[in-house]
Structure 1
């Protein structure tokens, strides 16, 4: 007769609980997976399927009980690790949204905003458009599969243990946040430079010919020029974002190695 003892049940529970928590934390914060359009049941189901596939390949788990102080500490660590991995890749998409914010301000589209369920606030329509394009590029290069592979590899680079996480990993994560501003500015720089030159030209024309109403024709010209430059910029987004996504995966690996005790 098949029987299961409480000790065996506890071992099985630990073998799936802590990997599941790390995977669920990543699915809840990583781009694509954490979108508001994805139902919560689908996120939990994906985390369960990943746990069933990956957990048997992992080594022995710490012997701490789930309801003990050590078990709760390990649980918190797995939440932090999964969140850090998802947040590291999300910074690349935040960079794209920042580029859309910069370009929208220059084009005069600061008033064209709507509620974005992903960020929980109002977002410029141009920033949302660029973010959707970045998601499509991410899916086209199989970034979601690479992210799952990175998640599976994280259990080897940073195994589940009760040792405290190193502080250097948090510093590396904060340092990587600088790419949000620098990368966003580099992506929007051609459009910003073009519109700045156009505004300077219209300012000079207004000084030379005072009867020229800059307020009447300035906004339509700026908007049309911005849309034309945006169309030119679209064909360079994939070559620009490819290395940025690679840098995001490298940032995940660097931060995980920095968190290693």
Structure 2
């Protein structure tokens, strides 16, 4: 069955758009709530039309029934959601690190507006999320993700059923990697906080008349921010490396 409109193969564009839209709607940097959904879908449609001539020979024939065609399009959309969702999982490492850092330095209840989520969020989590997005675009990582969209057709061919077993393994791996990276980013603050609290415990035993844990709160915040700043560059490099590894795997 050949479906064309103004010289464009509609069936090829529809299959490509289903997967690309699923990826773009979840891909970090492109799927932020501050970007309207119509803009994201329009970008996915333009990208699908541009890729249609290149991947036309890989497009399977359309099913003979409407239900069959709907199943093919839905399968491609699920594959796109799988690929984009794994990248979004890795993005949550920054939120995890921010939550841990905020609890350690005493800023757990400090809230500020989060432009990426159009709502308020914890101060350190919002800072790390904004820094991660800035670094992703500054290092050209978003180009690697777009190349990964094209490379995903070599990883999972057009028309193939969604790999359910591999999807479960990918979800577990990315979730574990996200938590590990988030903890690695916050590890300097956690270690310094442990040493600091041990010292406070010894001091409170030596001078029980002084409420050490209340008097020392400003020093805890200041020292925590200093340690956080010193380990920030290394932590963000670890996060960028995890994102780059996933982009290279998809590409």
Fold shared by both chains (TM-score > 0.5): yes
Q: Deviations over 1:38-58 (max 9, x none)?
A: 122321221122112111101
- Does the aligned pair in 2 maintain the 1:14–1:66 contact within 8 Å? no
Q: Distance in 2 between matches of 1:112 and 1:190?
A: 21
Alignment partner of 1:173 is 2:175: no
Contact preservation (8 Å) 2:94, 2:182:
yes
Structure 1: how far apart are the matches of 2:243 and 2:58? 33
Does residue 51 of structure 1 match 2:38? no
Aligned to 2:142: 144
1:65 Cα deviation from its structure 2 partner: 4.8
Residue in structure 2 matched with residue 93 of structure 1 by the alignment: 91
Measured in 2, the distance between the counterparts of 1:72 and 1:205 equals 69
* 1:1-261 equivalent positions in 2, closer than 5 A: 7-9=2-4, 12-58=9-55, 59-65=57-63, 68-114=66-112, 116=114, 123-161=121-159, 163-176=160-173, 177-250=175-248, 252=250
Contact 2:114-2:120 at 8 Å conserved across structures: yes
Runs of 4+ in 1 over 6 A off after TM superposition: none
Residue aligned with 1:236, SS: helix
Q: 1:102 to 1:24 in 2, by over 3 A?
A: same
Q: Distance in 2 between matches of 1:233 and 1:114?
A: 23
TM-score norm. by structure 2 comes to 0.89
Contact 2:181/2:238 (<8 A) preserved: no
Listed as ranges, the gaps of 5+ residues in structure 1 are 1-5, 254-261
Distance in 2 between residues matched to 1:60 and 1:189, nearest whole Å:
47
TM-score (norm 1): 0.85
**Which range moves more in the overlay, 165-174 or 70-79?**
165-174
Q: Which residue of 2 aligns with 1:256?
A: none
What is the CA deviation profile of residues 191-234 of structure 1, one whole-angstrom value per residue up to 9, with x for unaligned ones?
11101111111111011001222243232111111111121122
Q: Give yes or no for contact 2:204–2:212 (8 Å, CA) kept in 1.
A: yes
